Amino acid sequence: MRTLLGWLLLFGLAASAGWGFSRWRAAAETRAESLTGVSVDEERPGIPARVLLGGPSGAAPIQLEGSVPLDDAPLRPLQAPLPVEPAPSPLPAIVELTVRPGSTLSTLCQEFYTEPDRPPLNDVVAAVARWNDLASPNDLRAGQVLELPPLASLFP
């Protein structure tokens, strides 16, 4: 605890002495560096002229074939994007679940089928039992693999 208080006191003194971001910012401004790495063109204020990524290499700028300088490019009116129809949602896949000791089909169905428009739980349990060829919803064994299909498959 004393060590923590010592470090907090040390950092508090350092911050009050001006060490940190404000001192770094002042040093960068005296060297006339941009803090963001973006220089502004004096002829067109507000428009970044270039973005610096690392130090200058001295190499000639890359010119792409068939590219037109920005100032000579023809202006085209903006067009509204074409409406996109949403893709039909696929039916959810059947989930396979391994029964753990002490699990009941009722609790498994209650935890898995949480849709607000779900039929009554007794009907869902009976439908899942039929889907898995169980003689009774109480015929579960630990380690048994159950298939839990989507509600649309159980109640067409």
Domain ranges across the chain: 1-51, 95-154
Mean pLDDT of the chain: 74
What pLDDT is stored for residue 74 in this prediction? 64
What pLDDT is stored for residue 128 in this prediction? 92
Q: Which CATH number fits domain 95-154: 3.50.50.60, 3.10.350.10, 3.40.50.2300, 3.40.50.1010?
A: 3.10.350.10
**3-state DSSP assignment of residue 98:** strand
Residues 6+ apart with CB under 8 A from 127: 154, 155
- The pLDDT > 90 percentage for the chain reads 13
pLDDT tens digit sequence for 53-89: 555 667 776 666 665 555 555 667 777 777 888 777 6
